[in-house]
Amino acid sequence: MTDGWPRFFLFGTRPVKAVQTSDGGLDVQAYQWETGDFERDMLLGTEVIMGGPDVERVSQEQFESAVEHLRQKLRSKR
């Protein structure tokens, strides 16, 4: 895992990614259970960046695997 951007996290089982913006800011995008898409969720930003108790920083590969697993579960419910 590198210290660069983007950074990938699991907040419990919810995938969350932090992306550095072009102006040096931060954009936090969280997996949406209902759609399988990612939407901006700055409320989770502090929690994931500061490393809250339910937060695990993961590699991009682990992140993508978790996202795919959740999307497969979502498709099977439709």
Q: Which pLDDT band, with edges at 50, 70 and 90, does 4 fall under?
A: confident
1 falls within a domain:
no
How far apart CA 57 and CA 7 sit, in angstroms, is 8
Record the pTM: 0.89
- Looking at residue 72, its amino acid is Q
- Please report where in the chains the tokens 């419910």 appear, as a residue: 77
How far apart CA 38 and CA 65 sit, in angstroms, is 15
> Are 18 and 7 in contact, with CB atoms under 8 Å apart?
yes
Q: What is the count of structural domains for the chain? A: 1
Q: In what order do the strands lie in the sheet with 26-31?
A: 38-40, 26-31, 14-20, 7-11, 55-58
61 falls within a domain:
yes
24 falls within a domain:
yes
pLDDT (tens digit per residue) in 30-67 = 999 999 999 999 888 888 888 889 999 999 999 999 99
Residue 45: predicted pLDDT = 84
20 falls within a domain:
yes
